Structure 1
């Protein structure tokens, strides 16, 4: 590969690293063509960008950025594919889905400005709630008291109506 080509690839990797809030380092080397195709399709459906890279080029891309990614350097062994995503837990859930096959194999991740290294960290990453999930929970919590007040007012109105009806019938 020519030096100019390598520098373009390094630059493209660096752009992706800066464009996405989260990325996962995985190993998909043992996948056959059909399974790789399926994985790529599933990644695309979940807005995850899958990119197979050479470790040396990824290492140089890390070095070209201002942020310090030294904690990820030990994970740059063997074959490496990067899963870029703006949803923190989407790649983790996809990797966990294929946990029985161990492919894609989780190596490390940079999620919400934190480093996660090794297989045990995957369980924590799967349990991280996405922004959409958190917003949904907050809305649900905010709606709950309002629903209780409305329910109490509606039931109170029927009770008051029943009392007034009983009193009016009693006087007759």
Structure 2
């Protein structure tokens, strides 16, 4: 690969990291060709993108970012694949866990993950990352919690509507 081609690839990767606030670094070394193809297919089906790139090029592209991703540099050793997720931060973790379960394997391993500007390094973060709620899910939960008290008051008033109106009339008559 020529210096010019490397420069173009670094620019492309820099753009990918900028466009995708959520990305994971995974180690797929030791996977067979069939396993790799199955993993790529699963990634594609889930609407994610998977790219295998040299570690030095990944590091240079990360250095071009406004955010500080230097904590990830230590995990840029050996085989590195990048999973890009444009919208949902936990989608790559879910794909990796699903692949592990379907194929009864521990590969690919999570090396590091960046969700918005937070960096997680190490395979021990895979389960917690896969259980994260998306922004859409969190907003739905918040709206549901906010609506709950109002719904309870309305249902209480509707269920005892006759009793409440009778009570109000009795209080009104007593006041006169």
TM norm. shorter chain > 0.5: yes
Q: SS state of the match for residue 24, structure 1?
A: strand
TM-score, normalization: structure 2? Answer: 0.81
Out of 144, 154, 161, the position equivalent to 1:157 is: 161
Q: TM-score, normalised by structure 1?
A: 0.83
Counterparts of 1:80 and 1:9, CA distance in 2: 15
Gaps of 5+ in 2: 168-176
Q: 1:31 to 1:150 in 2, by over 3 A?
A: same
Paired residues of 2:20 and 2:84 also in contact (CA < 8 A): yes
Aligned partner of 1:42 in structure 2 is 42
Corresponding residue of 1:11: 11
CA shift in 2, pair 1:158/1:80, >3 Å: same
1:144 lines up with 2:148 in the alignment? yes
The partner residue of 2:112 within 105, 108, 114 is: 108
SS in structure 1 opposite 2:77? coil
1:162 deviation in Å? 10
Query: CA 1:142/1:106 → structure 2, altered by over 3 Å: closer, same or farther?
Result: same
Matched with 1:98 is 99
Q: How many pairs are equivalent?
A: 163
Deviation at 1:158, TM superposition (A): 5.3
Deviates more, 1:56-65 or 1:72-81: 56-65
Task: Please report how far the alpha carbon of residue 104 of structure 1 lies from its aligned counterpart in structure 2 after TM superposition.
Answer: 1.6
CA contact (8 A) 2:67 2:117 kept: no
SS in 2 for 1:98: helix
Q: Mind listing any 5+ residue stretches in structure 1 that lack a counterpart? A: 164-172
